[in-house]
Amino acid sequence: MDRINPSKTSRTRRAAAELMLQDEQHRTANELSSALAALKLTVRDHEEGSLPFVESAIKRLEGFVAVRRILASPEERGCDIVECLRDLAIAMEQGRSIPGGIALTTCTLTVRVVPDLARTILNLAHEMLTNAMKHGSGAHEILLSIRFTRRSVLLRCENSSQACGIGRKGGGGLRIMRALCRTRGGAFSYSSGEDGFHVLARLPRLPRPDV
């Protein structure tokens, strides 16, 4: 893992924050536009079969709200990162058509981390799942896994469907993930192609919470 340079870390944090804010604004607009489009279609048609579109739009908006609350306040769950990731995956599936669904795998049921690390892990997981949903295709499930060693946290996301739409440098989501890892002196890698979409983040686990 990279040696942390305070000055470089500060610049990287600012760059990551700006990217995340810009991306969040786009996502907010896109989510609301999609939900509103479904509602407008229902109002226009007034057909019997329109109720599922309304229900889907409501669930999607509820999931959108739930995701933001999880990302903003991991302390509400005692910074149990496994519980937070499980709730995040459930919230991100709400109102969306993901044929294979999202599966979370972990080697332990409960792991508490310091709040700052919890936020980094959650933001990384959110970006990973968003990219996997956006660039994957087919009926394969999206697999999110987290593993812990004495010194590291390893977060991985895979979609074995054929991936598309990601260039060599990647989009905004990949830049955000790379910047998030750098701010904590971690490492980030990804691959995208015929064998699917794969991302891996390795972060220092220390300091640990006093619990």
Residues 91, 74: Cα–Cα separation, whole Å? 14
The predicted structure's pLDDT at residue 170? 59
Band (207; pLDDT cuts 50, 70, 90): low
Count CB atoms within 10 A of the CB of residue 28: 12
* Closest by Cα among 126, 123, 153, 117 to 17: 123
Q: Are 102 and 141 contacting, i.e. CB atoms less than 8 angstroms apart?
A: yes
Q: What is the pLDDT of residues 123-178, one digit of tens each?
A: 999 999 988 887 665 557 899 999 998 889 999 999 876 655 555 555 778 888 99
Options 3.30.565.10, 1.10.287.70, 3.20.20.70, 3.30.230.10; CATH for 6-204 is 3.30.565.10
The predicted structure's pLDDT at residue 164? 54
The predicted structure's pLDDT at residue 101? 85
The structural domains of the chain, with segments of one domain joined by +, span 6-204
Q: What is the mean pLDDT of residues 70-78?
A: 80
Residue 63 scores a pLDDT above 80: yes
Residues 188, 176: Cα–Cα separation, whole Å? 11
The predicted structure's pLDDT at residue 82? 93
- Percent of the chain past pLDDT 90, that is, above it, reads 26
Axis crossing angle, helix 51-72 with helix 115-135, rounded to the nearest 10: 150
**Strand order through the sheet with 187-193:** 102-106, 142-148, 152-159, 196-204, 187-193
Residues 89, 203: Cα–Cα separation, whole Å? 20
Q: What is the pLDDT of residues 12-38, one digit of tens each?
A: 666 666 666 667 766 776 777 777 777
Q: Are 81 and 118 contacting, i.e. CB atoms less than 8 angstroms apart?
A: yes
